[in-house]
Amino acid sequence: MSTQTPHATGHVSDGDTNAVPSFEASGGDWSEIAEEAARLGEERIVVNMGPQHPSTHGVLRLMLEIDGETVTEARAGIGYLHTGIEKNMEFRTWTQGVTFCTRMDYVAPLFQEAAYCLAIEKLLGITDDVPERATVIRVLMMELNRIASHLVCLATAGNELGATTVMTTGFTAREEILKIFELVTGLRMNHAYIRPGGVAQDIPPGAVDAVREALVTVRHYLGQLEDLMMANPILHLRTKGIANLSLAACMALGMTGPVLRSSGLPYDVRKADPYCGYETYDFDVPTSTDADAWARIVLRFEECYQSMRIVEQTLDRLQAMGAGPVMVADKKVAWPAQLAVGADGMGNSLDHIKEIMGTSMEALIHHFKLVTEGFRVPAGQVFQTVEHPRGELGVHLVSDGGTKPYRAHFRDPSFNNLQAVSMMCEGGQVADVVVSVASLDPVLGGVDR
């Protein structure tokens, strides 16, 4: 980074006899601009909001130039949560990559897993070989995750505006879904449950009934949230007409998800380019033309109810089809472990261990090579998209024919959506910056990855 100090470059007439100095930033940090402005007696202030501010949805740094209470310029500073996940994936097998990408957007981990595995399956040419039961389970888990993600957005937004009851109600509802995740995958977050070729294991006995019961509870809490938020005059004043972003602006900035749909365009990857059989499910894509923060709150409520419709359809299908395989039959790809819950947690079933250790040397060698080396993926590249709670999530995978990705790159929707911060905030009040960021619902784990 340049270390030049920003300096006054001239004077601009303000229509009177006074002259107003203008500033040109030629590198360095914004603190230097603030120092220069202070030295010349300017009343404008440059402040840092974050990177540890409670309303920046992670370690996001917002650099705001303010004139009184008005934001005259806003910039987003990212990179404080950089984990090197994409680079690390180049040194792990294709299956191990799932445990990395699930940790990017930690609020919606199952979507990264699904997109990554769908891309691998395309490269392997086994998309049509994935068992139907595994595909339905993937849809079930993703839609539950969409509800949980939207609940976090609504809950934290309410808390940031001073309504703590909104946060406690939202997180109480989310807890019901995390219990389901723990029941099915063994983990509340960062599941690594969706694997190339299917899922790690079938849903356990009683899971369908447990999900139905959880939906009743979540619907009850969603009703409470609506009562708390929809008729609240303070929330109306804080969000209506705030953080406006027109359809033209959304298209120019590459916005997707609820932000784009709040400007009137019903773009949803599940409808536009279906995957996992979404074309066979009955659901709607809610939109609005208000294009403000209020519209995005309403849309997220509506999307939760639409996800519930899809979840109920998946439960009916799982009950109708009965037990069946949840991993491709090809043993060169399929993870060989038969998982079971034992005294030391979830792992290989004792029967499977007994078989490969005691009766089949070939099975033991195959298990060892598949787990340690992984399977080979034909050389080529692929791009796969899914509809993430925050917008369109894209995965670009490149294979050189080996057992590890040559390159893995993710188009995270939070990263693209953050471009809108300046357009939303400039000209508004400082208090509206919190509303603007909350309406984008960024998760910095996905932004920095």
User: Quick one: pLDDT at residue 362?
Assistant: 77
Name every residue whose Cβ is closer than 8 Å to that of residue 130 and which is 6 or more positions away in sequence: 121, 197, 198, 328
Q: How many whole angstroms separate alpha carbon 349 and alpha carbon 202?
A: 14
Delimiting residues of CATH 1.10.645.10 domain(s) in the chain = 93-333+375-448
Is residue 277 within 8 Å of 135, Cβ to Cβ?
yes
Q: How many whole angstroms separate alpha carbon 37 and alpha carbon 276?
A: 56
How far is CA 381 from its chain centroid?
A: 23
User: Quick one: pLDDT at residue 171?
Assistant: 93
User: Quick one: pLDDT at residue 58?
Assistant: 74
Q: How many whole angstroms separate alpha carbon 416 and alpha carbon 149?
A: 18
CA distances in angstroms from 395 to 111, 120, 385, 390, listed in the order given: 11, 10, 6, 15
**CATH number, span 93-333+375-448:** 1.10.645.10
Q: How many whole angstroms separate alpha carbon 79 and alpha carbon 60?
A: 8
Percentage of the chain beyond pLDDT 90 is 52
Q: How many whole angstroms separate alpha carbon 265 and alpha carbon 263?
A: 6
Amino acid identity, position 292: D
Residue-averaged pLDDT of the chain:
86
User: Quick one: pLDDT at residue 3?
Assistant: 38
User: Quick one: pLDDT at residue 7?
Assistant: 42
Which among 443, 449, 402 has a CA at the least distance from the CA of 59? 443
Low-confidence ranges of the chain (pLDDT < 50): 1-15, 17
Q: How many whole angstroms separate alpha carbon 259 and alpha carbon 417?
A: 8
How far is CA 294 from its chain centroid?
A: 21
- Residue 170, token pair as written in the block: 């939202």
Which among 197, 245, 178, 153 has a CA at the least distance from the CA of 442? 153
- Reported as a single tens digit per residue, the pLDDT across 168-194 is 999 999 999 999 999 998 888 998 899
Q: How many whole angstroms separate alpha carbon 357 and alpha carbon 341?
A: 19
- Reported as a single tens digit per residue, the pLDDT across 300-345 is 999 999 999 999 999 999 999 988 888 898 888 887 656 666 665 6
- Reported as a single tens digit per residue, the pLDDT across 85-132 is 999 999 999 999 999 999 998 899 999 999 999 999 999 999 999 999
User: Quick one: pLDDT at residue 347?
Assistant: 67
Look at strands 194-195 and 198-199 and give their pairing: antiparallel
- Residue 321, token pair as written in the block: 């089809």
Q: How many whole angstroms separate alpha carbon 66 and alpha carbon 42?
A: 12
Element (H, E) at 66: strand 61-67
